[in-house]
Structure 1
Amino acid sequence: MDFDLFRDDLGIPHVRAASETALAYGQGWVTAQDRGLQIEADRMRAEERYAELAGAAGAAWDRFAARERLADTARAIHDAAAPADRAWLAAYADGVSAGLLAGGRDVPELAGVPHRPWEPWTPIGVFLATHVLFNGFPAILWRAHVARHLHVPGVPLERVLGLFAADAGSGSNAWAVHGAFTASGSPLVAGDPHRTLELPGPYQQVRLVCTDPAAPYDVLGFAFPGVPGVPHFAHAAWGPDSAAGAAAGSVAGSVAWGITNAAAHHVEVVSDGADSADPGAWRLSWPARELSDVGVAVWRGLLHARTARDVADAFAGWVDPVNRVLTADSTGEVLSLTAGRVPAATDRALPAPKPADGYVTLPAPTRVTQVAVDANERPVTQAPAELDGRPGYGPRDVRPDREAHDLGWSYVPHRAERIRQILAAADRPESPGTQARVHGDTRDLGAAALVAHLAGDASATAVRLRAWVAEGAHVEAGSADAALYMRWRDALTHRIARHPVLAPLHAPHGQDPALEPLLGAVFDVPTAVGAGLAHLLAADWLVVDGPDGQPLRIDPAAEASAALAEAADQASGTWGDVHVPAPVAPVPGVAGAYTAAVRPAPVSGNNETVRCTGGSPGMAPTAYRGSVARYVWDLADRAGSRWGVPYGAAGRPGTAHFDDQHATWAAAGTVPVVTDFDRLYAVDTTGRLLNGARGAQVWRRDVGPHGVVTAHMLDPEADADVLHRWFTQPRAAFWGMGEHTRDEVAATYAFVESLPTHHAYLVRWDGEPVALVQAYHPEHDPVAAAYEVAPGDLGLHFFLGGRGPVARHGAVQDPWVVLGPALRDFLFAGAGTRRLVGEPDARNEKALRRMAALGFTAGEEVFFESAQGPKTARMAYLTREEAGRGAP
């Protein structure tokens, strides 16, 4: 299918096509190019074949995927989808398959894995595989373990289970600000999802432009690699100013949305009646499987949304996982809603004897008139700032009946409350630039309650921690006090986990041993204690009988002081010395090579801060979770919006865009959204042309004693003076631009730059400009009328502008001796090029001699209408085999 591909200076893909299916094909193609190994690994996880790629490490996953029938569920969901949705999925899958064959799977890890085309249901399988653990069912298994082993006389089980509420869970952030409180008068939607850090990242920045006059759209956002559309975070524009064209309507506008996980009890653990005493006897009741629906129609429908109400209506069909949604449009409307299918269960803490009967009726979307903050906390309606005495008199979250959105789980409210504080304390109207203070905030509101257990400790380290809390408890990478606090919290977690009161929890969990690599961490006592540390220290009722019949209880002050003594004896340093990202790779065996390719960047924050970076007590101090994307959608001007990811757009170590956003992300920053096609560069999707941003080096060859030859994407403006100087020399007569002004030269090559089928390169020899090379697809050029174009043909024009550093290479008299072979190799560098095709003017004997010297075979004399007028040319051909180049 025909589509156009462009990229910005960060390599972010912008895909444009004249139909929705062609656009889906293009999105699939570029995803395979950028994230080939990642999406093939996820695809194999969905197909219960992960062990083929990951070896023994993948066997546990395959057993779990088979148990939960991921592949069968994906097929059933696909078969139940509407015909238009199936066609859309099929186009995306076909694009992925083509992109993989066009080089996307050319990585060592896939060398021994036979290529299998993607099926139309495969994207659904990828979505299921990446979300099957993205719910509360592992916590239910842990709570069942607690219920079996931890008995507190006279205390209801529900209270005991509440000890391990996820008070240290990372969660996600999202907030919306009504236009009454912004500088532009239009709303802002911002946030950052928190997930396990992956390399490459779990979200892919992409822009999708459909120019079909019947249903145009122009949407940019974060996609799941391997899944079409941008269902979670996006900003769409329409009207004459959008790339979708004036057919979208005469009035310009935009709509944006962002989500957080609703922490809902949407996947049930059902006891297996065969042996209810067996802790491993359970199955999952999953709405996606029970309904044969995961919301595919929503994925596609959101691309067509133009208003916040359209977004809300689309999300009415959402199934899994359950999300809270904030959406706003350029008319000023801001809406808050919860989307998904939640079983109407009465007991959400333990395995149930049977699935719930039916689903919860979710509240209708609510209008936001001030601010809205969703950060996975248990929903509570907030009072206005002027009534509750919090800092400032700015907007507060006053959505009514928030409690109706409480669907079973929650995280600690520290992040949500901190975001509300920051927004309420604003001393000027909000803008995309002011949101950086929210994304980057490192104040831990939970630290004070923990450090309070050291109130009676007079040691210097306790005094130091209390002073740190008094100063705001900011968890900064450069802070030695933050490092001390985190070491102390970790030591305290391990002391409580070893305490005799909790000894019963170390009993075997009794789950399927084959699933141990997958579920073992669920039953790790230090991890569970770290999540519920505040509850455990505050539970003065937690008293159990010891072996000798004497009561056992936790002494919070004693444990806190003992842990602080341990932490004080450990190595000193700053939090950033140990708190660095520790992402997982698509295949366990490549993790070292992938992380080694990322420039180190210590990060601030922890799980409880808005700048969430996933350092958890009871686990390693490295950041294993965190913000996997950041965004600020400006409804006044989409080009004023900002976004960012932890690493980069590309998924291959060593490439230019593998980690070029990492330093910005580590500093809690974002980069501008680029929507102007004049600031993008066209990409050849056939593999014949090398692509890059203006001025970027795309090829390099060390020519031994003769120095280095490099090829750079021509910069029409920066290089115009050089070209104009060359073209106005008498020897440039055959080039046909001798009468052009400098600005006309720049305009000509700006036009060439806009064509994905024609590229211009400036060649440098030891850094000095020496030649211009124009390469193009002959089938999209007037020369196509003169000869029979063959697949893999690459047309070329070259102009030798200078002699380069010949004087420094005494053995070289003619620069073409060095440059000729180098240019030939450069033109064959594209994997899709099978034959070079030249068409110099038939009178240009010097050019004909040069081509013959490079091995070209002279062909027929032809006549055609070129861009410069009528032309009589001598065709010349050189195949890859004749050039002796073999595969690139």
Structure 2
Amino acid sequence: MDFDLFRDDLGIPHVRAATETALAYGQGWVTAQDRGLQVEADRMRAEERYGELAGAAGEAWDRFAARERLAATARTIHDSLARPEREWLAAYADGVSAGLLAGGRDVPELAGVPFRPWAPWTPIGVFLASHVLFNGFPSILWRAHVARHLHVPGVPLDRVLGLFVADGGSGSNAWAVHGRFTESGSPLVAGDPHRTLELPGPYQQVRLACTDPAAPYDVVGFAFPGVPGVPHFGHASGPSSAVAWGITNAAAHHVEVVSDGADSGRPEGWRLHWPARELSDVGVAAWRALLHARTARDVAEAFGGWVDPVNRVLTADSTGEVLSLTAGKVPDVPAGAPERALPTAKPADGYVDLPAPARVTEVAVDANERPVTQRPAGQDGRPGSGPRDLRPGREAHDLGWSYAPHRAERIRQLLAAATAPESPTTQARIHGDTRDLGAPGLVAHLADDASVAAVRLRAWVADGAHVDAASTDAALYMRWRDALAHRLASHPVFAPLHEPHGQDPALTPVLGGVFDVPTAVGAGLSRILAADWLVVAGPDGRRLRIDAAAEASAALAEVVQATAVQAAVGPAEPAWGDLHVPAPLLPVPDLVAPAVPGRPLDVTPAPVSGNNETVRCTGGSPGVAPTAYRASVARYVWDLSDRANSRWGVPFGADGRPGSPHFDDQHATWADARTSAVVTDWDRLRPADTSLRLLNGARGAEVWRRDFGEDGLVTVHVLDPEADADLLHGWFTRPRAAFWGMGEHTRDEVRDTYAFVDSLETHHAYLVRWDDEPVVLVQAYHPEHDPIGTAYDVREGDLGLHFFLGSRGPAARHGAPADPWSVLGPAMRGFLFAGAGTRRLVGEPDAHNDKALRRMLVMGFTAGEVVSFESPQGPKTARMAYLER
């Protein structure tokens, strides 16, 4: 299972291997390294053992997972696979296990959890656990609750249930532009998936390159941590072809809730009819086949084996072909049957025969809207006459019942308004757009409100209704929506919905949010305000109805009053960014223990623009909280003319380990709705140390830090041979540097020496800074690849080191200790042992350098034997020194 690992300047892993199984092993290994806690938490959710890690909340999940037989389903699906897929999964699982043992589990949260190797079926379980709630079945349980309790005389039930169909929604965006409308003449595929915001993120940037001459491939994309391949978003490039794909959720009714005498309140009152379980297939063959795709037709064929969840797919290739299709298994509801908004007596008999892939000749947009055939641009009031989505018969793709009405329309407007050919850089205006097309309809309910606040909101709408982080008007609008959702949720009309939902109380942590009335009302706000037919009988027989204008004005008055109270005691009126910051879900609820002392698990909050209804989706729930708990969890632009022009990004960073320099280094870019260039040139990548002894990074990059409180902050950076040459030359030419052996070197010779060190995978040089002042040069290396390896018995996990104190730093300032090593000693130990593969530190000071040896003994080393060997500077006699982990 040999593989090579490289990383770019963002720490994104690029894995290369000579066989597909070795590549899968390497992907699993690096995933365990970068996302160890995350994948172990997801694995335990799949194995119905999450309670071991997460306590009571985990036990509720385990009860649900056992009810839905996640582990048994994953095993059955695995056993039904063909041999190539089983071998591929097994290799990935073995790689994860090896990566976990090599340090991926070295976090406090897993300290009390015994290690268990991953089974070949475990990646399937992780995928199932991540998607069992990724469908409409919880909404069916809510609608059943509404049907039991909310009765509107003379109004059909389906109309009542339709009140709570989401007006907005944070479903994903994707769009494809035909080469006739691009700068390069080749297609573009772009988009961003919207899911629950997690830390680390739910998608992992990765590159997978298989060099097997019989079946080579080279794919960049976004993987699910714990699942092999790049099943949702990828860009494959070969010597003579390129293909890319992206998906959105089709919002299809694909998981049925079957009534077993149901809605009686008994826990066994309903069951799920889940295609993945019923067919013993979740589409693993499609995951693997996508890696081998060369054309858009290949991608479409691969997605022909897709099962769950049901997705809309856009794919394009370097020949210029662009295809749109639907992939997955959708129950075949009989023609003329009503939409299955409630539990059904029995599941559908068979599955829908989905339409063939459709060719796109202009532009296609998928953003979870209800599919309809689009009219040409210029005929419906949209600006410009640019490309439009003209796919015929799109109604055939209407497979569900919950769609967002605004984001796709806004994307089409932006594409239609283009004044120049599209390129990867022009897509930023789409990813970052903050116009809320749903706001005018809501604010219209304030048409007769003469208050200053209402006038402000009407002016904000007239100016485009942009939900920008710096806007106090956007904050006013969103706070008003929140207050309005709460007012309506407590209105007497909806009093029956506050009755107990009757579900298993043990599942409340999993399903409880489904029955939250303010959340449901907030989702259907515009429908509820427009429902003049919503009249119910109160307890005293009086007719109860909602006065939309009065409720809207009263909610706005509440916000104005709250603002006045706050202004009297604190800061002025908040902007949207003051309230709207990411609130990611952690692998373990209420996780607070940092994995690295001095570095908290969470990141500095970054104000973000947008809301559910904007293309720049940073979703929340009116009536719950203004924070962003759902968001664009990745962004991508795939350029079929040249993959080097493609762009991508994620929230936070590529590495899930707190303290890593790539833990949150993409976060500011993401928060600003920007992306970074995709780098695939092997010469621009750095080989990574898979023995996990040396910390890797770009020249000058910070790779380690520790805050020593009053004694200051110590950071370690990869040496930059050019930028640091003058500093090092100044240090080495001092008389006390004689033992270092470089006193006669010129500045350029110093630079060239460390440029050579920088080129080696087995030797690294680092510069230690104390309160940002350079103080120590550290050289760390693999002894088995160094002359010292001939002079002593090298053990697995040995890390050799040299260090040179160039400056005492702040040791004599600000009350810091007079002896710098009282701080630098612990810092050096912490840094050199930060590589999870390092088991023992090995020093080899000159045998006559008593000062260096005493320093090492004070640091905890044990003096060893005297050895002689041929060093690059000539014969050397050294005193060995050892420090065990």
Q: In the alignment, what sits opposite 2:625?
A: 620
Matching of residue 775 in structure 1 with residue 776 in structure 2 = no
For 2:326, which of 338, 341, 348 is the aligned residue? Answer: 338
Q: Distance between the aligned counterparts of 2:451 and 2:630, measured in 1?
A: 33
How big is each residue's C-alpha offset from its partner over 1:4-53, in whole Å with a ceiling of 9 and x where there is no partner? 22222322222222222222222222222222222111111111111111
Report if aligned partners of 1:836, 1:877 keep a CA contact under 8 Å in 2: no
**Match in the other structure for 2:306:** 318
Question: Structure 1 residues 813, 560: CA separation in 2 closer, same or farther (over 3 Å shift)?
Answer: closer
- Is 1:353 the counterpart of 2:345 in the alignment? yes
1:284 counterpart SS class: strand
Q: Measured at CA, do residues 358 and 779 of structure 1 come closer, stay the same or move farther in structure 2, by a change above 3 Å? A: farther
Residue deviations 1:496-526, cap 9 Å, x none? 2223332222222111111112112111222
Q: In the superposition, relative to structure 1, how do residues 282 and 686 fare at CA in structure 2: closer, same or farther (>3 Å)?
A: same
Aligned residues: 860
Contact 1:584 1:591 in 2 (8 A): no
Contact 1:852–1:858 (CA<8 Å) still a contact in 2? Answer: no
Letter paired with 2:211: T
Matches within 5 A, 1:286-297: 286-297=274-285
> Cα distance, 1:775 vs. partner?
3.4
Question: Distance in 2 between the 1:173 and 1:477 partners?
Answer: 21
Check 1:819–1:127 CA distance in 2 against 1; reply closer, same or farther (3 A cut).
closer
Hey, what's the Cα distance between the residues in 2 that align with 1:406 and 1:234? 26
* Counterpart for residue 90 of structure 2: 90
* Structure-2 residue corresponding to 1:3: 3
Structure 1 residue 146 displacement after superposition: 1.7
How many angstroms does 1:358 deviate by?
1.0
User: Contact 2:775–2:809 at 8 Å: present in 1 too?
Assistant: no
In the alignment, is the contact (CA less than 8 A) between 1:219 and 1:237 conserved in 2? yes
Structure 1 375/806 Cα, relative in aligned 2: closer, same or farther at 3 Å? Answer: closer
Partner of 1:430: 422
Counterpart residue identity of residue 647, structure 2: R
Cα distance in 2, alignment partners of residues 581 and 806 from structure 1: 37
Which of 784-793 and 393-402 deviates more?
Answer: 784-793
TM-score (norm 1): 0.88
Secondary structure in 2 aligned to 1:99?
Answer: helix
Q: Secondary structure at the match of 1:349?
A: coil
Deviation string, structure 1 residues 341-366 (Cα, Å, up to 9, x no partner): 11112442111111211111111111
Distance 1:720 1:215, change over 3 A: farther
SS in 2 for 1:387: coil
**Displacement after TM superposition at 1:78 (Å):** 1.2
Listed as ranges, the gaps of 5+ residues in structure 1 are 240-250, 881-885
Distance in 2 (alpha carbons) for counterparts of 1:500 and 1:740:
85
Write the letter of the residue equivalent to 2:70: L
Which amino acid counterpart does residue 585 of structure 1 have in structure 2?
L
**Relative to structure 2, which stretch is displaced further, 222-231 or 677-686?**
677-686
Task: Give the deviation of 1:829 after TM superposition.
Answer: 5.5
1:513 lines up with 2:516 in the alignment: no
Greater displacement, 776-785 / 227-236: 776-785
Q: Secondary structure at the match of 2:34?
A: helix
Aligned to 2:881: 878
User: Aligned match of 1:542 in 499, 515, 534?
Assistant: 534
Contact 1:4 1:16 (8 Å CA) reproduced? yes
Percent of matched pairs sharing the same residue: 77
Which residue of structure 2 aligns with residue 234 of structure 1? 234
Match of 1:792 among 791, 797, 811: 797
Map 1:279-290; keep pairs closer than 5 Å: 281-290=269-278
Query: Are 1:372 and 2:377 counterparts?
Result: no
> Counterparts of 1:56-67 in structure 2 under 5 Å?
56-67=56-67
Code of the residue aligned with 1:426 in structure 2: it is A
Q: Distance in 1 between matches of 2:517 and 2:819?
A: 75
Partner of 1:272: 260
Q: Secondary structure at the match of 1:388?
A: coil
User: Deviations for 1:287-326, whole angstroms, at most 9, x for unmatched residues?
Assistant: 1111111111222221222222221111111111111111
Match of 1:648 among 649, 653, 670: 653
- Equivalent AA in structure 1 for residue 354 of structure 2: L
8 Å CA contact retained: 2:108, 2:593: no
Distance 1:485 1:698 in 2: 43
What are the equivalent positions in structure 2 for 1:528-539 lying under 5 Å apart?
528-539=520-531
Letter in 1 for 2:838: T
CA separation of 1:424 and 1:802: change in aligned 2, threshold 3 A: same
User: Hey, what's the Cα distance between the residues in 1 that align with 2:712 and 2:202?
Assistant: 42
Change (3 A) 1:723 1:639: farther
Deviation at 1:765, TM superposition (A): 8.3
Matched residue SS, 1:589: coil
SS at match of 2:315: strand
**Which of the residues 597, 601, 611 maps onto 2:602?**
597
- The change in CA–CA distance for 1:311 and 1:781 in structure 2 (over 3 A counts) is farther
Residues 280 and 510, structure 1, Cα contact 8 Å, conserved in 2: no
C-alpha separation in 1, matches of 2:626 and 2:230: 33
Find the partner of 1:557 among 544, 549, 554.
549
Determine the C-alpha separation between the residues in 2 that align with 1:85 and 1:579. 43
The answer on whether the counterparts of 1:701 and 1:709 sit within 8 Å (CA) in structure 2 is yes
Q: Distance in 1 between matches of 2:770 and 2:542?
A: 85
1:159 counterpart = 2:159? yes
Q: Which residue of 2 aligns with 1:245?
A: none
Residues 33 and 488 (structure 1 numbering): CA distance in 2 closer, same or farther, change over 3 Å?
Answer: same
Q: Secondary structure in 1 aligned to 2:620?
A: coil
- Equivalent residue number for residue 757 of structure 1: 762
- Deviation readout 1:565-597 (Å, 9 max, x if unpaired): 223222243222222222221111216979873
Letter in 1 for 2:723: A
Instruction: Kindly indicate whether the alpha-carbon contact (under 8 Å) linking 1:681 and 1:694 is maintained by their aligned counterparts in 2.
Output: no
Q: Deviations over 1:448-486 (max 9, x none)?
A: 111112222233322222111111111112222212222
Which has the higher mean CA deviation after the structures are superposed, 584-593 or 747-756?
A: 747-756
Distance 1:671 1:708, change over 3 A: closer
- Quickly say closer, same or farther: Cα 1:284–1:794, change in 2 above 3 A: same
Report the 3-state secondary structure (helix = DSSP H, G, I; strand = E; otherwise coil) of the residue aligned with 2:133.
Answer: coil
User: Which residues in structure 2 correspond to 1:481-520 (within 5 Å)?
Assistant: 481-520=473-512
Deviations 1:625-650 (A, max 9, x none): 11111111222222222222121222
Q: Which moved more, 1:799-808 or 1:498-507?
A: 799-808
Q: 1:741 & 1:160 partners in 2: Cα distance?
A: 83
- How many Å separate the matches in 2 of 1:128 and 1:781? 47
Q: Distance in 2 between matches of 1:714 and 1:817?
A: 23
1:674 to 676, 679, 685: 679
Which amino acid in structure 2 is aligned with residue 676 of structure 1?
D
Choose from 443, 448, 458 the match for 1:451.
Answer: 443
Q: Is the 8 A contact 1:168 1:616 kept in 2?
A: no
- The structure-2 alpha-carbon separation of the partners of 1:560 and 1:778, relative to structure 1 and needing over 3 Å to count, comes to same
CA–CA distance in structure 2, aligned partners of residues 534 and 418 of structure 1 = 18
Q: Which amino acid aligns with 1:646?
A: P
Output aligned runs, 1:831-846, within 5 Å. Answer: 831-835=836-840
Stretch moving more, 664-673 or 413-422: 664-673
Give the partner amino acid of 1:43: R
Q: Match of 1:629?
A: 634
> Structure 1 residues 703 and 280, CA, compared in 2 at 3 Å: closer, same or farther?
closer
| CA gap 1:431/1:523 in 2 versus in 1, 3 angstroms | same
User: How many angstroms apart in 2 are the aligned matches of 1:125 and 1:355?
Assistant: 24
* Equivalence for 1:244: none
2:695 to 677, 685, 690: 690
What is the TM-score of this pair, normalised by structure 2?
0.88
Kindly provide the amino acid, as one letter, of the partner of residue 537 in structure 1. Answer: L
Q: Which amino acid aligns with 2:76?
A: A
Matched residue, 1:583: 584
Residue 263 (1) aligns with residue 221 (2) = no
CA deviation profile, 1:141-167 (whole Å, cap 9, x unmatched): 111122222222332222222221111
Query: Counterparts of 2:495 and 2:847 in 1: how far apart (Å)?
Result: 91
Q: Distance in 2 between matches of 1:141 and 1:274?
A: 11
User: Which position in structure 2 is the counterpart of 1:525?
Assistant: 517
Structure 2 contact 787–869 (Cα < 8 Å) conserved? no
Q: Name the aligned partner's letter for residue 11 of structure 1.
A: G
Q: Is the 8 A contact 2:777 2:806 kept in 1?
A: no
* CA positional deviation for 1:663: 1.9
